[in-house]
């Protein structure tokens, strides 16, 4: 949904390009000590760390290190999933000692006909693994049932409800695996979700206070733990795991990719405000709106920029640049004005300067492309015709991107 939460006084949402306002982006290639970043080594050794730090201190919070207590239990293997085209594995990733603490339920599909380790797309889902497919073997997500209970909503399982967003068969047929888990396994998505999520249950173990990171931080950290597991699975090509996410989980994918260089490529689908879109552009959702509607997504410091986004020491092109030199895909949708498609394009455009240090080609154009016409090389962009969503068209571009740059 893309409605503004009511109950907050907000200026009207701007959808007029003429009223976006004048802004200047913070320089990406000048270090804190005012020296120019001239090479990939200057970037890697100095500036990259500074930029990552800006996002930690002002926006998403800290990103804890690996989880020493993590261990996995295989719950179910189906050797003839998707009409025999795939093997599915359901793995419970425990995040603390024993089996009473927090866990991630990972669903992994692997093409059945391959003897080689395969590249894998990994992406969190919104409503539990059982929502991505009608596949009867997928275990119903307990954490999703917990969330429905919290919402006092009907708790009947909703198998396959988001199936259109997960073209598993197409991925398998193109030689990819898919690894997905419910984002609520890490933290429920509401203002008090941290109380029952890993920011509380793992605070002691990870040496971090709940307020020192965020919901997006917790979800992104979960993606890194999924990658820890994937790197141990003999069917997975450990250096070819692509992190992808839609909308708030697109923001999450970008943050995971920024912190964890083991992800081979990063894909943002309609991530919008707080994701790929430039914050300084007053178009669609704004920092003020998002931090009032979803305060838990960011650390509280981010709210201090509500009245003047121009005082932010960073903007989102700098987050996108943290994916460099790895392949980066930013996608928008024509009806998704709330996410500011042109702002997403410009975010990608302004990240090119870092890719250039690595002799990697970016979008190859200054012009917003026509709908359904992908542009670019190591950085890619498209604006799909239609709504805020992730559809087969989007996935087919990600497959092509993976084929050309990751496989």
Per annotation, catalytic residue among 130, 143, 246, 388: 388
Respond yes or no: is residue 388 known to be catalytic.
Answer: yes
Q: How far is the CB of 272 from ligand GTR (least distance, A)?
A: 5
Q: How far is the CB of 13 from ligand GTR (least distance, A)?
A: 11
Residues 77-116 that bind ligand GTR (CB under 6 A): none
Respond yes or no: is residue 296 known to be catalytic.
Answer: no
Q: How far is the CB of 337 from ligand GTR (least distance, A)?
A: 12
Report the 3 state secondary structure along the chain: CCCCCCCCCCCCCCCCHHHCCCCCCCCCCECCCCCECCCHHHHHHHHHHHHHHHHHHHHHECCCCCCCCCEEEEEEEEEEECCCCEEEEEEEEECCCCCCCCEEEEEEEEECCCCCCEEEEEEEECCCHHHCCCCCCCCCCHHHHHHHHHCCCCCCCCCCCCHHHCCHHHHHHCCCEEEEEEHHHCCCCCCCHHHCCHHHHCHHHHCCCHHHECHHHHHHHHHHHHHHHHCCCCCEEEEEEEEEEECHHHHHHHHHHHHCCCCCEEEEECCCCCCCCCCCCCCCCCHHHHHHHCHHHCCHHHHHHCCCHHHCCCCHHHHHHCCCCCCEEEEEECCCHHHCHHHHHHHHHHHHHHHHHCCCCCCCCCCCCCCCCCEECCEEEEEECCCCCCCHHHHHHHHHHHHHHCC
Instruction: Return the residue matching tokens 């020296």.
Output: 35
Nearer to ligand GTR, 102 or 272 (CB): 272
By CB under 6 A, residue 118 contacts ligand GTR: no
Residue 329 pairs with which residues in a beta bridge?
Answer: 267, 380
| Binding-site member from 2, 52, 148, 368 for ligand GTR (CB under 6 A) | 2
Nearer to ligand GTR, 284 or 362 (CB): 284
Residues 284-343 that bind ligand GTR (CB under 6 A): 285, 290
Tell me the Cα Rg of the chain: 20
Q: How far is the CB of 235 from ligand GTR (least distance, A)?
A: 31
Residues 221-260 that bind ligand GTR (CB under 6 A): 247-248
Nearer to ligand GTR, 13 or 85 (CB): 13
Nearer to ligand GTR, 294 or 329 (CB): 294
Q: How far is the CB of 58 from ligand GTR (least distance, A)?
A: 18
Size, binding site for ligand GTR by CB under 6 A: 8
By CB under 6 A, residue 273 contacts ligand GTR: yes
Nearer to ligand GTR, 290 or 312 (CB): 290
Q: Contact letters (x/-) for ligand GTR, 275-294, by CB under 6 A?
A: ----------x----x----
| Binding-site member from 167, 272, 343, 347 for ligand GTR (CB under 6 A) | 272
Nearer to ligand GTR, 123 or 247 (CB): 247
Per annotation, catalytic residue among 96, 247, 288, 332: 247
Q: How far is the CB of 216 from ligand GTR (least distance, A)?
A: 10
Residues serving a catalytic function are 247, 388
Where on the chain is the footprint of ligand GTR (CB under 6 A)?
1-2, 247-248, 272-273, 285, 290
């Amino acid at each position: 949904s893309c409605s503004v939460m009511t109950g907050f006084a907000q200026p009207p949402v701007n959808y007029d390009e003429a009223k976006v306002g004048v802004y200047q982006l913070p320089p990406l290639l000048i270090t804190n000590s005012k020296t120019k970043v001239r090479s990939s080594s200057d970037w890697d050794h100095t500036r990259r760390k500074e930029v990552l730090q800006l996002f930690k201190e002002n926006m998403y919070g800290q990103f804890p290190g690996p989880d020493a207590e993590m261990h996995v239990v295989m719950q179910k293997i189906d050797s003839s999933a998707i009409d025999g085209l795939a093997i599915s594995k359901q793995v419970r990733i425990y995040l603390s000692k024993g089996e009473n603490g927090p866990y991630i339920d990972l669903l992994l599909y692997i093409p059945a006909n391959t003897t080689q380790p395969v590249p894998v797309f990994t992406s969190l889902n919104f409503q539990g693994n059982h929502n991505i497919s009608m596949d009867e073997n997928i275990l119903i997500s307990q954490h999703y049932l917990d969330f429905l209970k919290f919402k006092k909503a009907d708790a009947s399982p909703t198998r396959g409800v988001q199936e259109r967003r997960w073209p598993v068969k197409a991925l398998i047929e193109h030689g990819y695996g898919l690894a997905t888990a419910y984002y609520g396994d890490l933290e429920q998505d509401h203002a008090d979700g941290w109380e029952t999520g890993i920011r509380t249950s793992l605070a002691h173990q990870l040496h971090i206070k709940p307020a020192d990171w965020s919901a997006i931080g917790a979800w992104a950290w979960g993606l890194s733990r999924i990658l820890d597991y994937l790197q141990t699975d003999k069917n997975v090509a450990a250096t070819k795991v692509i992190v992808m996410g839609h909308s708030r989980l697109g923001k999450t994918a970008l943050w995971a990719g920024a912190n964890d260089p083991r992800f081979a490529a990063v894909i943002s689908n309609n991530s919008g405000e707080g994701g790929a879109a430039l914050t300084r552009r007053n178009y669609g959702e704004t920092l003020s709106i998002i931090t009032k509607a979803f305060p838990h997504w960011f650390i509280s410091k981010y709210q201090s920029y509500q009245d003047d986004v121009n005082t932010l020491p960073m903007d989102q092109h700098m987050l996108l640049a943290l994916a460099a030199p790895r392949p980066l895909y930013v996608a928008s949708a024509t009806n998704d004005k709330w996410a500011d498609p042109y702002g997403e394009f410009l975010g990608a455009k302004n990240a090119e300067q870092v890719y250039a240090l690595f002799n990697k080609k970016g979008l190859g154009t200054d012009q917003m492309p026509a709908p359904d016409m992908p542009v670019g090389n190591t950085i890619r962009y498209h604006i799909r015709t239609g709504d805020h969503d992730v559809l087969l068209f989007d996935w087919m571009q990600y497959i092509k991107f993976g084929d050309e740059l990751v496989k």
